[in-house]
Each structure stands twice: as C-alpha cells, then as structure tokens.
Amino acid sequence: MSTTLSTTLSTTSHDEAAARFLPDSSLLIGDQRISSVPGGTMDKINPATGTLLGSFPVAGKAEVDAAVAAAKDAFPKWRATSPGERRRIMIRIAELLDENSEQFVMLHALESGAPVNPAFGATMAIDHFMYYAGWADKIGGELAPIYPSTGFDYVKHEPYGVIGALLTWNGPLMTAAMKVAPAIAAGNTVVIKPAELAPFAAIRFGELCLEAGLPPGVINVITGGPEAGDAIVRHPDVAKISFTGGIVTARHILRAAAETITPVVMELGGKSANVVFDDADIATAAAHATAFAMSAGQGCLLPTRLLVQAGVYDRVVEQVVNTVGQIRVGDPLDPGTVMGPVISEAARDRIRGVIDDARAAGTGELLTGGDSPSVKGFYVNPTVFGGVDNSSSLAQNEVFGPVLSVIPFSDEDEAIAIANDSTFGLAGYVHTRDVARAHRVADRLDAGFISVNGHNPMPASTPFGGNKQSGYGREGGRAGLEEFLHHKNVYVSLD
C-alpha cells in the first residue's frame, strides 16, 4: 500500500472519502454527461455504514436507445481505426488507470465494502488493457484449403459491432476491463451497464476512456436498474451481450436475448471444491482454505466447499477454524481490516438466513461464526460448518457470503465424485505433493478454472470461465478476444 494511500486512510472518514473520490453521477452517452433523466435517481447505500453513499441517474429505454445509437454511429470509424492507433489509446487508458489507481481502490471500498487493497483498485484492469493493446495489431485471418473445386478461400475475423457489457458489483472495474479491453481491441464499440449496487467505478472508468482519446461513442455508460439492462439486451442493434452476475439474472437475459437471437457470453456463479489430499502441505492448504472469506465471501470462484481426506481432516479443520477466528472484520477503510461488510442489508439478512436454516436442519457442525459483529453496516462473521453432507442445500447452493462447508472424503475417486456433484463448474482447487495426482485430478474436475497448491492470480493472458450453470464463453487470453470476433468466409473462384 502506498504511503499516500495509507495516510489517506488514517485521516479520512467515509463521508470525507465519498466527497473526495466519488465522481459526478451521470450517464455517459457519446461525449455527453447526462445527470438528469425522467427516471430520476437511485440511492446507493454504503455497506460499511448503512448510510447514503450517493445517488445516480436511472436510465430507461430512451437513454439506452441513445447510448446504443452513439455506439452504432461510432462503430464504422472505430473499426477502421488503425490497429496501431487502437493500441496507443488502450495503452493510454492503462496509464490513466494507473495514475488514478488510488481513487479506484477507494471507490471499491466505498461501493462494495472490500478492504482497501491495490489489487482491487486498478491492477487487473491495467493488465487487461496492456495485454489486449498488444492484440490490436495481431488480429488476422486464415487461408482455408478447399476441395474438390479450385479457388482461393480465406477467413476474416471481424468485430461484431455494438457490445452490451453488463457488469457485476463485486469487481466493477475489473469486469469492465475484462469485457471492454478485448472488445475495443477487436474493433467493437460498447454500452456498459454497471450493477446498481456499484455504479461509480464504471462512471469514472468511462470518463478516463474519453480522456485517453477514445472517440466518443466507443464507450458509453448507462446507470440504472433492471429496466436499463433489459433494454440493452433486447435492443436490435446490440450485436452481443457479455454478462457477469448471478444465475437468476442470467435466465432473464437469455430469455430476452432469444427474441433477437443475440449471442451471449456469461460468467456466473460457483460452488467451487477445494480438494485437500493427505499428502498436501497442510499449512499451505489450510491457509488457502480461508480464501472463502475474501471479499466477505462475495466471489464467484472462491473455494466454498473444502473437501479434506480423512487422514488429515482434523488437522486441516483445526487450522482453518483457528485462522478464521483471527480474521479481523470491520471498516474497509481501516488498514488493519481483513474482511469488510457484505454488499447490502438484504444480502446480510439472506446470508444469516442460510446460516440459521443450516443450523436448524442440523447441516454439519457449526465450528465458528454464524453471527454478525455489533457494529453499524452489513456484516456477517466468517462461518465454518464441518462434516457437511454434499447433498445438503448448504453445500449445493451458492451462498455468496463468508460461509464454508467442510466435507470429508476417503480416496481420490470419492473426492472427484463429490467435487463434480454440483450444478456449478466454475473453479476447482487441488492440494497435493503428488505431481501425477495433481494433473490427474485437474483433468477429472468438471470446472473451467483449476488451481493446484494455491490460487491462480488470473493474469490477463489466461482464459477464465465456467462449465454447467457457471456459464459459458471465456474472458481473458486469446479466447477472451475471440468472444468479440466472428468469422467471415470469402471464396474467390479461379475458374
């Protein structure tokens, strides 16, 4: 953490931080900032204090139509912009994100309640823009062999047009970068709709894109509620949707997109298994197991099911419970805080309800947590249940809160069976010293993102996404770029 940021935290209240770091609330359509709309405004509550953080415009269909029109108008020119110029602008966006990283750290803390951490500011976003800037001049095609006739056949990789990017609230800048960077590197234009629980980082991101020299209309930011998101998905001029969020919203999006046969890429939830074998480094495995409490458990890929081989079960559980009991829960602006609040009062009450239901049903043994600290804001203490049956609701359903289910297993086959017995398939984790077992188990786990003996840092160069009800399509790497390109085949007769 920088000295400047540390000093800021030690001397700044939430109200002072909001006054200093929140951008002016407005829609960004083309080069116009629009703060007054017929839909009025929506309040955003600070999850750490339970008080008003700020308000933002509620866009409706008319504003979405204007944003899509701006993106559609900008598309031909942006598509024709030289790859070198696209690369230059994207590198400048990365530079501005770096220069404003302290603001994004603070925005993430204020909006989402995550403890201040530069990694939650702009680091991943910067990496994605730098990585995809390098792709801007490397998008080619291929020569296709044809038979039995003669001719010349080639394939072009072309941008779709207007992309609708629907962001999640637990990492709005990161998810914006994961969608926008490859989309504009490929020559598309974008309409961003941030989640209503975290609108401000996306607004500031849009401003920086314009400041970097991105032509007006290439990026547009529409804030609001479900009506705005629905209007984007249903718009006939939106060529593709990229969504990160929950499965309930995903089903609504798919039904709406079906009307115009709009393709969709989705990164959804998870109930990821963390498999610890008896030959693992127990200290490392137990420390990694506590990652379920990162961001107050509000992460789709977090290891929320801990599968432990019987021979080391007691040792692992003891270390996990001891470590979890020492997690400092509190104000995200306090440098000593490890876990902040959950996103809203409704989320807190829902998570507490899941815990209470599990206790009433006798779902395993409550080993630690299960309550909330006596402070203002929306907090839930990190909670661990031991001896959980994998068929239980607690083990099968995504809690999206700091709740861990610990499940024993006897051997490798049983571990794989338990891990794959889920409707989700986003991530999987393996702890073992046996290299052959590590590759074997990784191969058998039905998930799109596997980490061995630790946590994959999700570099921009690697694809990320899930199987089953965790979604489809990929973000990151070459696969993430290809989500925003379609193939055009051209045949030239030589007869």
366 token code pair: 């409550």
Count Cβ atoms within 10 A of the Cβ of residue 327 and give its class: 0-12 exposed, 13-18 middle, 19 or more buried: middle
The DSSP annotation for 248-313 comes to HHHHHHHHHHHTTT--EEEE-----EEEE-TTS-HHHHHHHHGGGGGGGG--TTS--EEEEEGGGH
- For β-strands 383-386 and 365-368, DSSP reports them as antiparallel
Q: Quick check: helix, strand or coil at residue 144? A: coil
Count Cβ atoms within 10 A of the Cβ of residue 271 and give its class: 0-12 exposed, 13-18 middle, 19 or more buried: buried
Catalytic residues: 267, 300
Average pLDDT, the chain: 95
| CA neighbours closer than 13 Å in the CB half-sphere of residue 426 | 24
Asked if pLDDT for residue 415 goes beyond 90, the answer is yes
Is the omega angle on the peptide bond into residue 408 within 30 degrees of 0, that is, cis?
Answer: no
pLDDT of residue 494: 87
Cα four-point dihedral sign 196, 198, 201, 205: negative
Asked if pLDDT for residue 376 goes beyond 80, the answer is yes
Average pLDDT for 408-434: 98
Q: Which CATH class is domain 3-268+471-489?
A: alpha beta
Domain boundaries, the chain: 3-268+471-489, 273-460
**Per-residue pLDDT tens over the stretch 439-469:** 999 999 999 999 999 998 899 999 999 999 9
What is the Cα–Cα distance from 271 to 395, expressed in whole angstroms?
8
User: What band does 5 get if pLDDT is binned at 50, 70 and 90?
Assistant: low
Distances (CA, A) of 91 to 73, 127, 215, 226, 454: 24, 10, 15, 33, 31
In which element (H, E) is residue 430 found?
A: strand 427-431
Query: What would the CATH number be for the domain defined by 273-460?
Result: 3.40.309.10
Average pLDDT for 261-285: 98
What is the Cα–Cα distance from 82 to 434, expressed in whole angstroms?
49
Q: What is the pTM of this model?
A: 0.95
User: What band does 9 get if pLDDT is binned at 50, 70 and 90?
Assistant: low
User: What band does 121 get if pLDDT is binned at 50, 70 and 90?
Assistant: low
pLDDT of residue 118: 64
For 87, residues 6+ apart whose C-beta sits below 8 A from its C-beta are 133, 134, 136, 137, 185
**Per-residue pLDDT tens over the stretch 37-49:** 999 999 999 999 9
pLDDT of residue 23: 96
**Per-residue pLDDT tens over the stretch 188-231:** 999 999 999 999 999 999 999 999 999 999 999 999 999 999 99
